Amino acid sequence: MFQKAISNFTQQHSYSSLCPKAFFFDMDGVIFDSMPYHAKSWVKAFEEIGIKFSEYKAYLNEGRTGASTIANEFLEQKKRNATETEIQQLYKIKSHNFEKCGDPIPMPYASQVLQKTKSLGIDIFLVTGSGQSSLLQTLNTFYPGIFSPDKMVTAYDVKHGKPHPEPYLMALEKANIKPNEAFVIENATLGIQSAVAANIFTIGVNTGILDEKELIQAGTNLIFNSMQDFYLQMDFLLDCCKKR
């Protein structure tokens, strides 16, 4: 299955090889099990300004920047553009709600995946649509010695959030590598679309409530049911890359 996914990918892009020098990790739903908190925080924030927003919709919007999520709902429900001030105020409320949710919960087996990646000499980048300063600081508490500020792309760095390829293109630039020298690890459809549009081999880890066909339709090259599942098959997957 891995060999076939790799062959399909390299043929499609006319790459001579797939040899990962860096793994680009999404954060929410991959590194932290934070999506339930985000969903609740969004619903409550929108409620305050009379916009109906469901937790399900929050999951569908996962990976999009906060500003873009707010702009879309204003257009759809208030039939006008949100002002910069409205966007900033609402995002502040959402962030405040999120911070009140309590300590983030590390995703099971994220630590093992990160440690193994590091031990294999593969570079670790974080590519997230989040701009929560508290969450970024928390990375070092839960995963000491893994992440560094120069190896991160956050909401502050990009003009276009996922599903636009910009976040992953910027990660390639920061890592100074080609698209066939990276793997992306993503859990959400918009994130997968972003990685696929950047022509990077994309590993979908289905840690949320979505039917796996959603991730497949978004274009993921491989799919795992959990970070544990991915962890257990990392060696085999990397061997398949080397054999080509």
Decide: 17 and 237 in contact? Cβ < 8 Å: no
Residue 104 sits in the site that holds Ca ion (CB under 5 A): no
Q: For residue 66, state whether it binds Ca ion (rule: CB under 5 A).
A: no
The tokens describing 61, both together, are 């919007």
Q: How far is the CB of 28 from Ca ion (least distance, A)?
A: 4
Please tell me whether residue 73 binds Ca ion under the rule CB under 5 A.
Answer: no
Residue 95 or 180: the one with the smaller Cβ distance to Ca ion is 95
Site for Ca ion in 6-35 (CB under 5 A): 26, 28-29
Complex with Ca ion: residue 180 or 207, whichever CB lies closer: 207
187 binds Ca ion (CB under 5 A): yes
Size of the site for Ca ion (CB under 5 A): 5
Nearest approach, Cβ of 208 to Ca ion (angstroms)? 8
Q: Does residue 129 bind Ca ion (CB under 5 A)?
A: no
CB of 8 to Ca ion, least distance (A): 24
- Distances from the Cα of 107 to the Cαs of 32, 42, 145, 186, in angstroms? 5, 21, 17, 13
198 within 8 A of 219, measured Cβ to Cβ: no
**Helix 227-242 vs helix 110-119: angle between axes, to the nearest 10 degrees?**
20
Numbers of helices and strands, H then E, in the chain: 11, 6
DSSP per residue, 75-117: IIIISSPPPHHHHHHHHHHHHHHHHHT-S--BPTTHHHHHHHH
**Cis peptide preceding 163, ω within 30 of 0:** yes
Place of tokens 């003009």: 159
Given the rule CB under 5 A, which of 94-102, 182-190, 213-221, 233-241 is the region that contacts Ca ion? 182-190
Among 113, 146, 171, 188, binds Ca ion (CB under 5 A): 188
The pair of structure tokens assigned to 138 is 């928390």
Is 161 among the residues that bind Ca ion (CB under 5 A)? Answer: no
The yes or no reply on residue 127 touching Ca ion (CB under 5 A) is no
- Of the pair 187, 199, the CB lying nearest Ca ion is at 187
Q: Which stretch binds Ca ion (CB under 5 A): 36-44, 119-127, 130-138, 179-187?
A: 179-187
Residues 6+ apart with CB under 8 A from 33: 104, 105, 106, 107, 108, 207
Least distance between Ca ion and beta carbon 58 (Å): 12
Phi then psi for residue 60, to 5 deg, are -65, -30
Nearer to Ca ion, 97 or 206 (CB): 206
Please tell me whether residue 110 binds Ca ion under the rule CB under 5 A.
Answer: no
- Report if residue 214 touches Ca ion, rule: CB under 5 A: no
| Closer residue to Ca ion (CB): 29 or 106 | 29
Residues in the site for Ca ion, rule: CB under 5 A?
Answer: 26, 28-29, 187-188
